[in-house]
Amino acid sequence: MNTISMDINEILEYLPHRYPFLLLDRVVSLKVEKEIVALKNITINEPFFPGHFPHYPVMPGVLIVEAMAQAAAILSFKTMGLKPSDDSVYYFAGIDSARFKKPVFPGDQLMLKVKMERIMRGIGKYTGQALVNDEVVAEASLLCTLKVVK
């Protein structure tokens, strides 16, 4: 099985998100139908830090989970052999067992590891972990689905 890596230009082909909501910088490895490892470099210039929190900048947990979902979307599209079209969106269908173990700060490199559990009736189930320096900072089970919106 081939392992795929992707730079930001290829990521942009698979995700409709753009600044400030694109939360992946690189795909380190992707194994179709199996798993993806992606990176997000956290900088003080992130648009959420001035308000979360001005005196103690911490990446919001919901955005860590969103980054996992963006990685899951790329894994799904690569597995299906598709690129998203302008009339489709890959949505959250559910988030279970989300746990936040440590805060993520400016200067951290967030490593996102997402494994595909199954795809059934158009809904993909994934388990995700976010790590900083090989230490789990967040984890969740994700359900996502592809919807036509136009």
**Residue positions annotated with a catalytic role:** 52
Q: What is the largest CA-CA distance in the chain?
A: 47
Which contiguous run of DSSP H or E holds residue 6?
Answer: strand 4-6
Query: What is the DSSP track for 47-90?
Result: TTTTTS-TTS----HHHHHHHHHHHHHHHHHHHHT----TTEEE
Which residue pairs from 12-17 have beta carbons closer than 8 angstroms and sit at least 24 positions apart in sequence?
A: 13/83, 14/73, 14/74, 14/77, 14/78, 14/83, 14/84, 15/70, 15/73, 15/74, 15/84, 16/84, 16/89, 17/70
